[in-house]
Structure 1
Amino acid sequence: MVTIQKTTMIPILPLRGLLVYPSMVLHIDVGRSRSVAALEQAMLEDQLILLVTQKEVHDEQPHERDLHDIGTLAQVKQILKLPNGTLRVLVEGVTRASWTNYQALEKYTVVDIEVQEDTISKDMETQALMRMLLKYFEKYAESSNKITPETVQAVVDIEEPGRLADIIASHLPFKIADKQEVLEMLNVKKRLDHLIIRLHDEQEVLDLEQKISVKVKKSMERTQKEYYLREQMKAIQIELGDGEGKTGEVIELQNRIQESGMPESTQAAALKELDRYEKLPSASAESGVIRNYIEWLISLPWTEATEDRMDIAYAEQILNRDHDGLEKVKERVLEYLAVQQLKKSLRGPILCLVGPPGVGKTSLARSIAESLDRKFVRISLGGVRDESEIRGHRRTYVGAMPGRIIQGMKKAGTINPVFLLDEIDKMSNDFRGDPAAAMLEVLDPAQNNSFSDHYIEEPYDLSNVLFIATANDLSTIPGPLLDRMEVISIAGYTELEKSLITTNHLIPKQLREHGLKKAQFVMKEDAVLDIIRYYTREAGVRGLERQIATLCRKVAKVIVSGEKKRVTVNAKSLEQILGKHRFRYGQAEKENQVGVATGLAYTTVGGDTLQIEVSLVPGKGKLQLTGKLGDVMKESAQTALSYVRTQTAKLKVDADYFDTHDIHIHVPEGAVPKDGPSAGITMATAIVSAILHRPIRREVGMTGEITLRGRVLPIGGLKEKTLSAHRAGLTTIICPKDNERDLEEIPEGVREQLTFKLVSSADEVLANALEGGF
């Protein structure tokens, strides 16, 4: 141990990024001129120099304020001059010392020092702290692999507590500030305790680093293994003549997924499935399922859209070109276009075209698509019983595939097609679910922007689709589903409209389909009217088109056989070609008859006329109903009879008349089911006619519900019933007064040819229906 005699004018050596503890032997490289001069001065005297660490490493010329207050008084053991001019000095730390009286001389700096002795008490606690510190140090040295066993043994042999703490601190990866903090701790117990805590923390950090290192190593090994296996697989596939094999296919699918424009969440799901697909062997059954699923996701339109043609005049031209009549539907489509043009964006409306077969519902939807320049997709819902037909099957099922909605979107290839849901009223349900309930999400504007198909399993936006549904009968459509659609009724065509449709559409179409030219087949206007009147009786034109097709076939045979080069069909020759008339046109009855009234009915195929017959025979007051009547119609007959029985005074019959006569009410065409309340006034009129033996006017048709007090209540389907009356040749219609608002829906050409009698009581009905009044 060096004895300190001199405490003044000690040369000082600032250290950068380095700290020397007492009892520590260390080589130091010195290059700064003042530091070299300080060393030379120390060698000239007693070889003592004060080593003080700088606060900032980058200071080239540190001043008094840039040095820590406590340093290490050291003895210079050896100086070696290196070729680059710097000195390599071997120093040994002697003791802690604080400094004062900083004096910057010409070549070096000197200070006065005061030795700082350790505060130590060798008791049991100190011994315990030393043992614990050694235990932690040995464990740290074993884990870190940076401290040699020889060093550990040398440290273990140290018996002095302060020196033990300093030597251990010198071997720990502390920052300079932390090492300076240890140097300034004069209380040895505090120093030992501080190092125990720091060693514990360092050990935890070291353990964590080792765990992370193991994970990284395993990950690297797995990545390298996968890379190696993939390269092997690629080489095998190339040898087998499979080109890039599955790897190339995966890369292609990945590019297609990223270019498809699907939402981020859907793209993430697709890439996840692609990763599974890549890892599965090609022979695996699941591999094919996943590949099919990815292909579906890629092939669906996610962003592709056609630009709507915002030309109302063009749209009107297309609609008028393809369809005569149907003004209400055309007006609704033009309204949609007008709003679309103003707002630039509009959720697709959900229209429901309701009407009898053959009125052009499907072809109208096709014309709407053409007028908008949109793709057209049609799916038929008739007979659909399984919910999975709409929502698709779960991928866990064998042969699973998306529902018809997603299939239709794939077929369209755009996100905004015109989507026709044909025969939506023909869906039914069974143990496999309710497809009508599944349609609720499709047709709900608040939900269909995130439609969920069981197969796709990702939300799909249907809000840009213009849905058009068709139906024959609204009564079979569930209420919640009907509530989501805008219903547009197509009642049927008038005789004039049918004539125009035949001339402008049906004849040219059938000529093309049968290979005939216009010059080979000419059909006179009177022949067109005769086909409409005597060979068809329908709301639409489907039967009419079949008759035209029959004519074309007959004409084709004549031309091919060489009998004629040109065939002209008029009213006279029509019967020779098509046979005898199938229907009568004109008055429903040739003459006024007793007990026979003409009623007007509304059916799923449009309006129709019904002949209601009543006969009275002596008996016991029984009421007999025939003609396959439904419950509602039977009740109407009983109500009509009850009303008539209250009118014995007006009818001038005996009070017991109804007890001595049986009444038989029959509605012809007994094989056809009939139901509804609107035959009430017709039955009452027929009963009164039979009782009074007063004929009913043959040109009168009637519809309306009757009450026990003789009030006439409103009915539905007046437009369809009126058109059927017009087709049957009736000229006067008796209907409830409350239905006056419905007269505006009847085509003007039909209204002008009919006389409407609006009634509110049965007496008014009888007054207008019976010959000679009531």
Structure 2
Amino acid sequence: MSDKFEVDFFDLTNIIDQDSEFIPLISEEEEDNMNREEVPDVLSILPLRNNVLFPGVVIPITVGRDKSIKLIEDAYNTNKTIGVVAQKKASIEDPDILDFNKIGTVAHIIKRLKMPDGSTTVIIQGKRRFEVGDFVQTDPYFKAEVKGLMDAKIDVSKDKNMALVSSMKDMSMQIIKENPNIPSEASFAIKNIESPTFLVNFIASNLSSEVEKKQEMLEVNSISERIELVLEQLSYEIKMLNMKNEINSKVKLDMDRQQREYFLNQQMRTIQDELGGNPVENEINEFKKRAANKKWDKKVKKAFEKELVKLSRMNPQAAEYSVQLNYIDLILELPWSDFSKDNFNLKRAQKILDRDHFGLEKVKERILEHLAVLKLKGDMKSPILCLYGPPGVGKTSLGKSVAEALGRKYVRMSLGGLHDESEIRGHRRTYIGAMPGRIIQNLKKATTANPVFVLDEIDKIGTSHQGDPSSALLEVLDPEQNSHFNDNFVELDFDLSKVLFIATANSLSTIQAPLRDRMEIIEVNGYTIEEKIEIAKRHLIPKQIEAHGITAKDISIPTKVLEKVVEEYTAESGVRGLEKRIAKLVRNRAKQIAIGEKFTAKISEKDLLDILGPAHSKDKYIGNEYAGVVTGLAWTQIGGDILNIETSLTKGKGKLTLTGSLGDVMKESAVLAHQYLKAHADEIGLKQELFDNWDVHLHVPEGATPKDGPSAGITMLTAVASAFTQRKIKANLAMTGEITLRGAVLPVGGIKEKILAAKRANIKEIILSDKNQKDINDIEAKYLKGMKFHYVKHMSEVLKIALLKQKVANAKEIK
């Protein structure tokens, strides 16, 4: 409803006070009398510019045009009846007959008031609608022939009409209640109107709708249709009113919050001044003091001072302020030129390395070489070492020993599962919550620019849509580039060339070739049984005794018992599993002590059964009583293992079947072995047609475990040859090597792990390529005691060594 309702209502109140004869809230009877009044054939027409007069409604209007003033004077002095018609366009100052709407309202002039500014205001009441006919006069004012129109009465006894009237009242009351510009007394008028026709006219007249909308309502004959049009406008006004109120509420809330924050900040500044100054200024002064003691180059110093000025100009409430603060704090805490002094006592370094790690001679030798060069030259770029080997052999813990031997700080960064490039290079400072990469973070933690930095599990870096971290490491791990490492957050070159990076990996195959090329690869092989026993005595048992709160006199594990634990309760290259078994033994002893049970300090083999349960099955050598069953040697991620290749023959058409979850390379090795034997059958006394009459089924046990690689080539060849000849395989023999179609035996990897697995299985002789002899020479002689090695170049040599003349018992007749 329009804001002018306030003026209208109070004007009406004044009129009622001045002359009680004119009551604007008419009854239904008065409305009927008004509709029965005759409409003159000709009426003086008063044009309205910004309003529409409805029957029964009293409104004040101000007239200012000469024609309108003349019309009002003449009518007021006669019968006081005029015709009121809204203009089509309010902007027209001097309307013509074409500018009038066709439907108007007969009006009775209630009061004429002379205003102080010289204008005339008249209070008029609508009587009845009419239709404009021909104009009979245009000067000094308009007169036209008119035809009276009747409003179709609404039957409020019908449910629909009753609902329409009720809705209209409710919506009007809601607007009066929620619009602060409408006085609450207006609800009195709505409640006291009895006539539905007058109610709809009264509400329509006071709507804030455009003149065109009100004229549309006036022209409708049906009161129910007019109510529907009014309801539509009321609904729109309610929505607009709700929206305005919501906006006003938000604006007020925001202003209140801003004012509150402003006053609080002002109070805080006053309190801070009383207590000793602004904290922002204090923080900047603190930064300047810290910077005065830093040893950095001119470039870094210039960048720091520039960023400090930027911080001093920032609003502390801004989101970027915390990022800038963190950046400056990081610049101050980074060890730009802070180096720890290396300890060049090589004998001490040797003692520390030997104390912490048994074996690992290659790694220790490489570290001592690096120390020796540093001692002689005084300065050199640190190498990037990569220790690779099976789990649990001490690759990660070696970093701590190296740091202690060099007298450097130690930091470790786990790369396993890392898939976000920003973890290495950092985020750009444009982002809220930006952070430097983990390389820079760890150097900040180390407080020196030359720590021993262990990059753990470098082979397990992942890739995603967030980038490739292994590619980001190329700069970090390149001795030619890392002297100018650029982190996205720091945006200044940092020298990493003095950092001794030690990477660890279980496998080299998953490391990018360019990344692998930048590192010095050092293989860390698995331990022999003797080495494991020695490690257990020196490190694992004392460590677990201390961890479980008992003393060395409470428990004693003899060498034979330790050997049994290693051989029958673990199957690994490292010592993690062994440490868990020892921990279980120590825990059992700690429980006995806590409960107060009697015990013997010495752990026996019987105690192993009680505490650790039944022993695991060892890598079992099957024997040579079966034709077509040959023992091979395999490398796994947890160390070496023996692999039994089984072959059987059935009558058929020469089909080769392979089972045991074999990979493509292993399948190809089986096909090569079969084809080579088929092509050289005469060398072992077989006829060519045998291969066309017998199907070969080759199986590798533990079918659920995926297997791949070329190293079982000679084993498969020997197994197929044994199956066709039904000859025995040499006892306690195992073999490993790749084969080619021309009959060559090629070298394979993982020799030390395979030899250890063979020794665990009580293998006495091993066949391998002659090019693997260098790998055997790298193994200490004491670990090879009791084993014989056959170095071969061709497959025919393998068959001569492996196949005996003697046939197996119950040999099948192959013909």
Q: TM-score, normalised by structure 2?
A: 0.65
After TM superposition, give the deviation of residue 761 of structure 1 in Å: 1.4
Q: What pairs with 1:336-485 in structure 2 (closer than 5 Å)?
A: 336-485=370-519
2:659 equivalent to 1:659: no
How many pairs does the alignment contain?
542
| Corresponding position: 1:584 with 2:606 | no
- 2:538 pairs, out of 495, 501, 504, with 504
Helix, strand or coil: the match of 1:250? Answer: helix
Matches of 1:322 and 1:478 in 2, distance apart?
A: 31
Q: State the Cα deviation string for residues 141-174 of structure 1 (Å, max 9, x = none).
A: xxxxxxxxxxxxxxxxxxxxxxxxxxxxxxxxxx
The residue number in structure 1 matching 2:719 is 686
1:609 is the counterpart of 2:645: no
- SS of 1:612 mapped into structure 2: strand
SS at match of 2:785: helix
TM-aligned CA deviation for residue 749 of structure 1: 1.5
Are 1:703 and 2:736 counterparts?
yes
Q: Note if contact 2:428-2:489 (Cα within 8 Å) is conserved in structure 1.
A: yes
CA offsets per residue over residues 521-572 of structure 1, 9 Å max, x none? Answer: 1111110000011111211111111111111111111221111254321233
Report the CA distance shift for 1:235/1:598 in structure 2 as closer, same or farther (over 3 A): closer
CA distance in 2, matches of 1:237, 1:287: 22
Q: 2: distance between equivalents of 1:233 and 1:747?
A: 79
Looking at structure 2, the residues matched to 619 and 753 of structure 1 have their Cα atoms a distance apart, in angstroms, of: 44
Shift of 1:252: 1.3
Quote the residue 1:277 is aligned against. 311
**2:569 paired with 1:535:** yes
C-alpha distance in 1 between matches for 2:750 and 2:283: 61
Q: Which runs of 5+ in 2 are unaligned?
A: 1-265, 808-815
Partner of 1:747: 780
- The correspondence of residues 200-349 of structure 1 with structure 2, limited to 5 A, is 236=270, 238-239=272-273, 241=275, 243-349=277-383
Report how far residue 595 of structure 1 moved: 1.1
Displacement of 1:235 in angstroms is 7.3
Root-mean-square deviation (CA, aligned residues, Å) is 1.8
Find the residue that maps to 2:643 and give its secondary structure: strand
Deviation at 1:726, TM superposition (A): 1.8
Whole-angstrom distance in 2 between the partners of 1:590 and 1:654 = 28
Check 1:364–1:235 CA distance in 2 against 1; reply closer, same or farther (3 A cut): closer
For residue 712 of structure 1, the aligned residue among 732, 740, 745 is: 745
Q: SS where residue 568 of structure 1 aligns?
A: coil
- Post-superposition CA distance 1:462-510 (Å, at most 9, x none): 1110000000000111111111111100111111111100111100011
How far apart are residue 724 of structure 1 and its match?
2.0
Residue 663 of structure 1: SS of its match in structure 2? strand
Distance in 2, Cα, partners of 1:708 & 1:497: 40
* 1:363 to 1:773, Cα distance in 2 relative to 1, 3 A: farther
1:624 is aligned to 2:667: no
CA distance in 1, matches of 2:592, 2:804: 52
Matched residue, 2:64 = none
Alpha-carbon separation, structure 2, partners of 1:459 and 1:290: 18
Counterpart CA distance in 2 for 1:555 and 1:353 is: 36
Aligned-pair distance for 1:237?
5.8
Residue 302 (structure 1) shift: 1.1
Superposition pairs of residues 631-650 of structure 1, within 5 angstroms: 631-650=664-683
For 2:746, the aligned partner's letter is: L
Alignment CA distance shift 1:770-1:653 (3 Å): closer
Q: CA deviation at 1:443?
A: 0.7
The one of 798, 801, 807 equivalent to 1:765 is 798
Deviation for aligned residue 1:258: 3.2
Amino acid at match of 2:729: I
The separation in 2 between residues aligned to 1:545 and 1:278, in whole angstroms, is 57
- Between the aligned partners of 1:426 and 1:275, the Cα distance in structure 2 is 43
Equivalent of residue 586 in structure 2, options 540, 552, 556:
552
1:207-230 Cα offsets, whole Å, 9 max, x none, are xxxxxxxxxxxxxxxxxxxxxxxx
Give 3-state SS (helix, strand or coil) of 2:686's partner: coil
AA of the residue aligned to 1:465: V
Deviation per residue, 1:11-34 (Å, 9 max, x gap): xxxxxxxxxxxxxxxxxxxxxxxx
Alignment of 1:564 onto 2:598: yes
- Residue pair 1:234, 1:244 contacting (<8 A) in 2 also: no
Q: Percent identity?
A: 50
User: Does structure 1 conserve the Cα–Cα contact (< 8 Å) formed by 2:711 and 2:748?
Assistant: yes
Match of 1:463, SS state, is coil
Ranges in structure 1 where 5+ consecutive residues have no aligned partner = 1-231
User: Structure 2 vs 1, CA of residues 654 and 233 (structure 1 numbering), >3 Å: closer, same or farther?
Assistant: same
Q: What residue in structure 2 maps to residue 600 of structure 1? A: 633
Structure 1 residues 293-322: Cα deviation after superposition (integer angstroms, max 9, x where no partner): 111111111122111111010001001111
Partner of 2:812: none
Deviation at 1:242, TM superposition (A): 6.0
**Contact 2:728 2:806 (8 Å CA) reproduced:** no
Aligned residues of 2:727 and 2:806 also touching (Cα < 8 A): no
- Which secondary structure does the structure 2 equivalent of 1:402 belong to? coil
Which runs of 4 or more aligned residues in structure 1 lie more than 6 Å from their structure 2 counterparts after TM superposition? 232-235
1:537 maps to amino acid: A
Structure 1 SS opposite 2:583? helix
- Give the Cα separation in 2 of the matches to 1:470 and 1:655: 52
Summarize the Cα distance change of 1:235–1:553 in structure 2 as closer, same or farther, 3 Å threshold.
closer
1:694 CA drift (Å): 1.4
Output the CA distance in 1 between the equivalents of 2:658 and 2:572.
27
* TM-score normalised to structure 1 length: 0.68
